[in-house]
Amino acid sequence: MKIALAQNNYHIGNFEYNTEKIINRIQRAKEQGADLVVFSELSVCGYPSGDFLEFTDYINQCYASLDKIKAHCSGIAAIVGAPDRNVSPKGKPLYNAAFFLENQEIKQVYRKGLLPNYDIFDEYRYFEPATEFSILEFKGKKIALTICEDLWNLNDNPLYTGNPMETLARQGASLMINIAASPFAWNHGNERKKMLSENSRTYHLPMIYVNQVGAQTELVFDGGSMVFNQNGQIVEEMNYFEEDFLITDLELIGRKSGYTPAYQEENPDKIHDIYEAVKLGIKDYFSKMGFSKAILGLSGGIDSAVTMAIAADALGAENVLGVLMPSAFSSDHSVNDARELAENLNCPYKIIPIKETTELFEKSLAPWFKGLEFDVTEENIQARARAVYLMALSNKFGYVLMNTSNKSEAAVGYGTLYGDMCGGLSVLGDVYKTDVFALARYINRNKEIIPVNSILKPPSAELRPNQKDSDSLPEYDILDKILYQYIELRKGAKEIIAMGFDSALTQRTLKLVNTSEYKRHQTAPVIRVSSKAFGMGRKMPIVAKYPG
């Protein structure tokens, strides 16, 4: 039996687009002699659909799409992900389901049993978990059809009380198929491979795994669909961060040798993967929103340089406008570095000095600020003046403003609300400063694109004379380690201090993170590249007292 794996990039709620893409892949699979074509989780409507799932019309359109798709399933069968109504008077109104289409009919519907309800996942808000599981019989094969999380309860510390695959294995399964929408995080890929491999080894069955690819606002799905033999070895692996299509011969899978994935705490390809994820995040955010042009403030610093370089790769250099806005405190080398970057990338740029603008603000405020020293107030006026210029250009010419703040700054509130924190998309908001430097070196791996001076000079907001980030913050190589322990690993102050970090510094850092929550609630969506990003996956109260 030949099985096609269709790894597609879907658009949430764009039923015509998604349906046409699915039908095209069915036709392609049929032309290449496939017996079955497999699509990813909730492929008809796109994942995650959020509260659109509460709209009756939205679900009606899902069923209408299935009707169109099944009409093309003649001489070939398909497995397609879509929501299914719960006709029982009890429970949530929908199931997360896999529809088996054959002979132009919906032959069977398989429902997801394990519903993730952590971090970025919120499936129990919409779906009822299935409690009964049965084998799909097709062309003499007994297929254990599961949906994403259904295979993620195979470990020493299970999150769920049940295990759908155990039930299906007892029914004599001869093949596993798992359809998924598994999002990217730089340290998640190895974990995913290991979990899938363990399932194949445990049940001694080959597996077809089809994942979604593409970015959906904050979330990036990296694809990487796979075929495993019965020994848990990966024998086929599809591309990452792009659409792909593969036909595998089930009869040959068992004869193929591959590799057994081993979990690694540190991803050796981390920076490459983050680059590709951010690039895809930018590209899909713009294309799916119907925009083509971006604008950003160019300071001559590392953050705006990395943002512009990735954006130019994602959107085309001609579609990324950099705006240099020197203040009274901007150094000549910062302006030169920003200009050199834009020219290296062939991006357009403008220079708009803000000295006169900020002086006008200060003059207007002088009667109220009389006798008071220059402080963070005047620094923030500069940042907000820049935001006014950027947003004016955005409004007038249809640019989307890209925010350039990194995760380290966002964590501790080192940014001006309604100033340098504004924007339509936060490009580096889930990338720590130390990794921003690593990204810059990666971008320069073949030739100098980002001026070396932007990488080597001490980071500075340049909002007062001789200012450096280290005046207000610990060195980033220390700060980022503390932040990672607190944000990603959820360790408290006592645990972090016990690891050898300075007590006062740790307490101060954690306090800054918590007291800056109100700022993060008002900022742009962040492209997620870690296991715990600011945004939809991290829900924290603004008014709280922890740690004490």
pLDDT digits (tens, 9 = 90+) for 204-239: 999 999 999 999 999 999 999 999 999 999 999 999
Tell me the mean pLDDT in the region 310-324.
Answer: 98
Calpha distance 291→314 (Å, rounded): 13
Give yes or no for a contact between 361 and 381, defined as CB atoms under 8 angstroms apart: yes
pLDDT digits (tens, 9 = 90+) for 353-393: 999 999 999 999 999 999 899 999 999 999 999 999 999 99
Provide DSSP, 389-449.
HHHHHHHHHTPEEEE---HHHHHHT-S-TTTTT--SEESSTTS-HHHHHHHHHHHTSSS--
pLDDT above 60 for 117: yes
Calpha distance 232→255 (Å, rounded): 13
Q: What percent of the chain has pLDDT over 70?
A: 97
Confidence (pLDDT) at 458: 76
Helices (H), 47-163: 56-70
Tell me the mean pLDDT in the region 446-474.
Answer: 79
Contacts of 3 (CB under 8 A, 6+ apart): 34, 35, 36, 37, 38, 177, 208, 247, 248, 250
Tell me the mean pLDDT in the region 106-121.
Answer: 96
pLDDT digits (tens, 9 = 90+) for 58-87: 999 999 999 999 999 999 999 999 999 999
All domains of the chain, ordered by start, with CATH?
2-266 (3.60.110.10), 272-520 (3.40.50.620)
Structure confidence at residue 466 as a pLDDT band (50, 70, 90)? low
* Residues recognised as catalytic: 41, 112, 148
pLDDT digits (tens, 9 = 90+) for 16-52: 999 999 999 999 999 999 999 999 999 999 999 999 9
Structure confidence at residue 332 as a pLDDT band (50, 70, 90)? low
Tell me the mean pLDDT in the region 536-542.
Answer: 93
Q: What is the pTM for the complete model shown?
A: 0.95
